[in-house]
Amino acid sequence: MTDHYRSLSFWHDSLPDDDLTPRAPLDGAASADVVIVGGGYTGLWTAYYLAKAQPDLDVVVLESEVCGFGASGRNGGWATQEVAVRREKMAARHGRDGVVALLRELCDAVDQIGRVAAAEGIDCDYAKGGTVTFATNPAQVESLKDRIAHEHEWGFGEGDFRWLSPAETESIARSPRSLGSVFTPHCAAVHPAKLARGLARVVEGLGVRIYEETRVTSIGPGGVQTERGTVAAPAVLNCTEVFTVELPGMRRRYAPLYTLMIATEPLDDSTWAEIGMETRPTFDDGRHLIVYGQRTADGRFAFGGRGAPYHFGSRLSPEFDRDDAIHDAVEGVLRWMFPQMGEARITHRWGGAVALPRDWQASIGFDRTTGVGYAGGYVGTGVAASNVAGRTLADLVLGLDTDLVHLPWVGHRSPRWEPEPFRWVGINLGRRLLAPAADASEARTGKPSRFLGGALRFLTGR
C-alpha cells in the first residue's frame, strides 16, 4: 500500500522512505469530544489549533486513506493569499471591512504556516519568495495591470501588488515570453506532502488520535458512521473538501475540477543561473486557463494547469488523475515559458480535483445546535486558506468570540450545483472551450477578450 501512496505524485514519491506507512485504522466503535473527518490541511490545522488551545480535549481524526492523500498532498505548493471569494458580492452582503479583514488574514496565514513549521520542526521546504505572474502577450499586460488596480481598490498597496517591467522581472525570474509581470510577496512555496505528513505527526504528538484507512460513510449530529463502527462525539467536523460529493446527499455540493501537474528532473546549476528564481518564487501567467509552478527545493520545476474535463455526475476517480493529452499540453506550456530547460525530462505526472462551489465562495460553518461543522470550497487556493479555516473552526467549536469567527465567509452557504446534464454542459463548455478560446483570441489580437471572459464568468458562476 505504501507504494500505491508513493505513486500519487512527485511530492509523495519524494517523502522519506517510511513516511507513508499508514497508521492503524479504527476497528470498531469509539467516542471523542471532537471528531474530524478528513486528514488534509483543513482537518489537521483544525486539530492542531484545538489541541493547542485545549490540550485535554479528546480529538479524533478519521482519514479514509492516509493524511495528505487528497489535494493537500498533491498540490502546486503555493501557500498564497489568494482566496475563493467574490469580493464585491460578499461586501454587498457583509460590508467591505469584513472582506478586507479576510484578505489580510489570508496574507498573515502565509507567514503563520512558516512560523508553525519552524516552531514545530516541520521540514516542508518553506520559502517565501512571493509570486511572479508573467504577462506573455499585450492583452495580459492590460489585464494584469487591471488586476493590480483592483487589488489596490481593496486596500493593498505597491508593497503588496506591483507591476514589474521586463528588466525588473528578470531580476527575479527570466522567461523569454515575459513582457513584464505582477509581483506579490504574499506567497510561499512549500513541499505540500511534507507539510501534510509533518502536520499529522505534530498533531499526533499533541495527543490527537489519528486513524488512517478508516472511511466515514455518513456524518450527522452526535457522531459519524465508519465502515467498521460508529464514533460518537458532540462536535463533528466535515473536512473532506472535494470528497464531500461522495457522501450521501452531497453530490451537488461541489463540482470537482481536475488539475494536472508534472515535475521535471532536477535542472543543473547553469540552467538555473539562466532562469533565476533563487528565492523560489511561485509563478504563473495571465492566461484564463490557469497554470501554476514553483522551483522545488531540489531544483526541479513542479508545474500544473487546469483544462482537464469535468466528469459527469461530479465523479471522482484515480483514473482521472492522469490524462496524456492534458499532461502533454501542460508540459508544452512549461517548455514554451522556459525554453532554457532544453530537453530536461519529465519524471512525474499526476493530478487531483479541486472543489468548486456554485458561487465560487469558500465557506466555513459550525451549527451549535447540531454540533456539525465544515470548511472547504477553496477552488484550488486552499493551502493558506485552510490554515485560516482550521483556526476558525477551532474557535467555533470552542465557542470563542474571536475576530476569525466574524469573517464574512463564516456561515456562508453556497447554492447547490444544477442537476446533470446542465452541470456537465456548463462547466465543460466554460473550462474546455471558452477559456482556451479567450486565451487564443488574446494572444492573436493583443486585447483582453471581454466577451469570452464574460461568457466564461456567466457559465461557471465566477
Ligand X SMILES: Cc1cc2nc3c(=O)[nH]c(=O)nc-3n(C[C@H](O)[C@H](O)[C@H](O)COP(=O)(O)OP(=O)(O)OC[C@H]3O[C@@H](n4cnc5c(N)ncnc54)[C@H](O)[C@@H]3O)c2cc1C
The contact set with ligand X (CB under 6 A) reads 37-43, 62-65, 69-72, 74-78, 80, 215-216, 239-243, 259, 261, 292, 304, 351-354, 376, 378, 380-383, 386
Give the distance between the most distant pair of CA atoms in the chain: 63
Helices (H), 171-323: 192-205, 269-275
If the CB atoms of residues 69 and 137 are measured against ligand X, the closer one turns out to be 69
Which residue do the cell numbers 513549521 mark? 117
- Bridge partner list, 258: 353
CB of 33 to ligand X, least distance (A): 18
Question: Please, which residue, 90 or 239, has the CB nearer to ligand X?
Answer: 239
Which among 297, 216, 276 is positioned nearest to 250, based on CA atoms? 216
- With CA atoms as reference, report the closest residue to 188 among 247, 244, 96, 122: 122
Cβ closer to ligand X: 141 or 435? Answer: 435
Question: Minimum CB separation from ligand X for residue 455, in Å?
Answer: 25
Shortest Å, Cβ 222 to ligand X: 17
Nearer to ligand X, 288 or 327 (CB): 327
Q: Compute the least distance from the CB of residue 79 to ligand X, in Å.
A: 7
The nearer residue to ligand X, 136 or 240, going by C-beta atoms, is 240
Closer by beta carbon to ligand X, 294 or else 441:
294
Closest CA to 377 of 240, 187, 284: 240
Closest CB to ligand X among residues 139, 255: 255
Residue at 61: amino acid letter: V
* Phi/psi of residue 225, nearest 5 degrees: -105, 130
Least separation in angstroms between residue 106's CB and ligand X is: 10
* Phi (first) and psi of residue 131, to 5 degrees: -125, 135
Least Å distance, CB 415 to ligand X, is: 20
Q: Which residue has the cell 519524471?
A: 347
* CA dihedral sign of residues 438, 441, 442, 448: negative
Closer CB to ligand X, 27 or 168, in the complex: 27
H-run or E-run covering 303: strand 301-305
Task: For the CB of residue 189, give the shortest distance to ligand X in the complex, in Å.
Answer: 9
Residue 98 CA to residue 113 CA, distance in Å, equals: 22
**Please, what is the minimum distance in Å from the beta carbon of residue 66 to ligand X?**
7
Closer to ligand X by Cβ: residue 5 or 139: 5
Residue placing its CB nearer to ligand X in the complex, 69 or 163 = 69
Nearest residue to 289 via CA among 305, 273, 272: 305
State the nearest-atom distance from the C-beta of 389 to ligand X, in Å: 8
Please give the Cα distance from 122 to 113 (Å, whole number).
Answer: 10
Q: Are 340 and 325 in contact (CB under 8 A)?
A: no
Please say whether the dihedral angle defined by the alpha carbons of residues 167, 173, 174 and 177, taken in this order, is positive or negative: negative
Residue closest to 300 by CA, chosen among 336, 266, 350, 337: 266
Closest CA to 175 of 138, 128, 136: 136
Give me the least distance between CB of 135 and ligand X, in Å please: 20
Q: Which three cell numbers stand for residue 251?
A: 453530490
Four-residue CA torsion sign, 116, 118, 123, 126: positive
Kindly state the cell numbers that stand for 49. Answer: 489549533
